[in-house]
Structure 1
Amino acid sequence: MPYATASDGVRIAYQLQGGGFPLVLLAGQSNSHRWWDSVRGDFDATYRTVTLDYRGTGESDKPDQPYSTEGFAEDVIAVLDELGIERADVYGTSMGGRVAQWVAARHPDRVRSLVLGCTSPGGPHAVERGNDVRRSLVQPGAGAARRALLELMYTPAWLATHPGPYHTVGDPGMPEYARRRHLRASNTHDAWEALPGIAAPTLVLHGTDDIFNPTANAPLLAERIPGARLQLIAGARHAYFEEFRTIASPLVLDFLGGLNEGT
């Protein structure tokens, strides 16, 4: 397993597939690179996809210390540096979209194009999930809470015909302290003031039926980032990129290809 070393000495595991211009794929909270397993092949024919295991997940080190979306973004840069990649397209979903905001805002020379999926700006300007959603995720018994999370990620029709395994509901090998660290990192994210400084062409994607990260966050991002495009996917919940991959992946590829043709 190849590793990059972050500025504080933490080892970050990364994975490469495909060929072509680099495309960084950033997973959601408390998930490793396996978040992308079911759809990564959609991009490998055109791109050299780069994923990583956030600190606290997968094969990366798991220090019991504060994490942040800004820190995760610097870990992304450490991976790009290790690979000698000067510029890449970046596609982040859920917390990965929050991390991607910092990558693009703080390292504009490293990001050619940006896709933000099912994410939010964080902070007081964001639209938070409802208390009913929060309560459903802290039900007594791990089985009930897991089922509630699955129903936030996927439609009933999808769950009825796709028995799993599901790679979007958390890295099963994470220590509990790392889960808490990830949750706090995502909950304390606030990139509102940095968003107008994002110079990369940006596509904002979101499912219309996402209540886990409410859909209302998508137009907030699109209006805050100069020139950003907004695309909503009808009927999709939080894991739109997997359940609606035949719509979502072509949208991303068309956006990136159209903007970057000849560059």
Structure 2
Amino acid sequence: MPTAAVNGLSIYFERAGAGEPLLFISGTGGDLRNKPNQFDGPFPKAFDMISYDQRGLGRSDKPDVPYSMADYADDAAALMASQGWARANVVGVSFGGMVAQELVLRHPGRVRRLVLACTSPGGAGGASFPFHEIEHLKGEARAKYLTPISDTRRDMAWAKANPEAYAKAIVLAAADPFADEPGHAQGAHRQLEARAGHDTWDRLGQIKAPTLVAGGRYDGIAPPQTLERLASQIPGAELRFFEGGHLFMIQDRTATPAMIEFLRR
């Protein structure tokens, strides 16, 4: 099992592909055992890609101590160093986009080009959906609550008109096959604690790496207006919207190729 010693922790990672280095940082609750995932898409066909289970998640260590966004960023930088990468392209999705912001701010020399997908700056720029406020919701109840937020087109009228599609969406969103593992709940809780404190707004002007901000037109978790503010605060950032909600990278098949084109410039 590929692991790296990172800041006193054992971090599980996977690596695939060839070409320019790409670090892919996944979102809230990300676990590489859940399939399909980023390794089943176009990125490892275009890059030498590393992705990993962040502290508290998946097969990485789950210390029951407070985590900070700086910790997550430093983990990413240390993982790159452990694999001999001085510099890489970086894609951060949702929570991973928050980590990527801290990474490029704390370790600017590590990031060649940056994609921030369906994420937020926090602070005065606007926060992402407050998942820490619904931590008590589990399984189907959580899925039913989040489905119309994740994609604002999937409201109650849509659910009534498309009962089979709605039922399938709820089953998929409710699945948590590793919920009973030791440390799973506490690691997820520690991530949500750190996420609630995310705020890079006043520092975004320091970003020098060419940046693409991307999102879905119907995302209620990282709304379009939040992405607009995020892009406006990063010097020279490009902003693109795609047909989808928070899962726009799956819903709109032009999204990932557009990111790859940006990263290859």
- Structure 2: which amino acid aligns with 1:251? A
Runs of at least 5 residues in structure 1 that lack an aligned partner in the other structure? none
Shift of 1:84: 0.3
Shift of 1:124: 3.4
- Alignment partner, residue 262 of structure 2: 255
Runs of at least 5 residues in structure 2 that lack an aligned partner in the other structure? 155-161
Q: Deviations over 1:77-111 (max 9, x none)?
A: 11111100111100001110000001111111111
Are 1:30 and 2:29 an aligned pair? yes
Are 1:218 and 2:227 an aligned pair? yes
- Alignment partner, residue 207 of structure 1: 216
- Structure 2: which amino acid aligns with 1:15? E
Distance 1:28 1:168 in 2: 16
Cα pair distance change 1:69/1:219, threshold 3 Å: same
- Structure 2: which amino acid aligns with 1:225? I
- Structure 2: which amino acid aligns with 1:142? G
TM-score by length of 2: 0.84
8 A contact 1:54–1:72 mirrored in 2? yes
Q: In angstroms, what is the RMSD of aligned CA positions?
A: 2.8
- Structure 1: which amino acid aligns with 2:191? H
Q: Deviations over 1:12-59 (max 9, x none)?
A: 111101111111111111222357834433111210111010111111
Shift of 1:139: 7.8
Q: Deviations over 1:197-253 (max 9, x none)?
A: 11110000011111122221111111111100000113x111111222x11111101
Q: What is the total number of aligned residue pairs between the two structures?
A: 252
8 A contact 1:4–1:78 mirrored in 2? no
Percent identity between the two aligned chains: 34
Cα pair distance change 1:34/1:227, threshold 3 Å: farther
Distance 1:95 1:207 in 2: 15
Q: Deviations over 1:112-139 (max 9, x none)?
A: 0000000000123315549xx998x568
> How do 1:95-134 and structure 2 match up within 5 A?
95-127=95-127, 129=129
TM-score by length of 1: 0.85
- Alignment partner, residue 157 of structure 2: none
- Alignment partner, residue 16 of structure 1: 15
- Alignment partner, residue 83 of structure 2: 83
Cα pair distance change 1:241/1:168, threshold 3 Å: farther
Cα pair distance change 1:222/1:169, threshold 3 Å: farther
For residue 24 of structure 2, give the secondary structure of its aligned residue in structure 1.
strand
For residue 113 of structure 2, give the secondary structure of its aligned residue in structure 1.
strand
8 A contact 2:23–2:50 mirrored in 1? yes
Cα pair distance change 1:36/1:238, threshold 3 Å: farther
Distance 1:168 1:51 in 2: 24
For residue 86 of structure 1, give the secondary structure of its aligned residue in structure 2.
coil
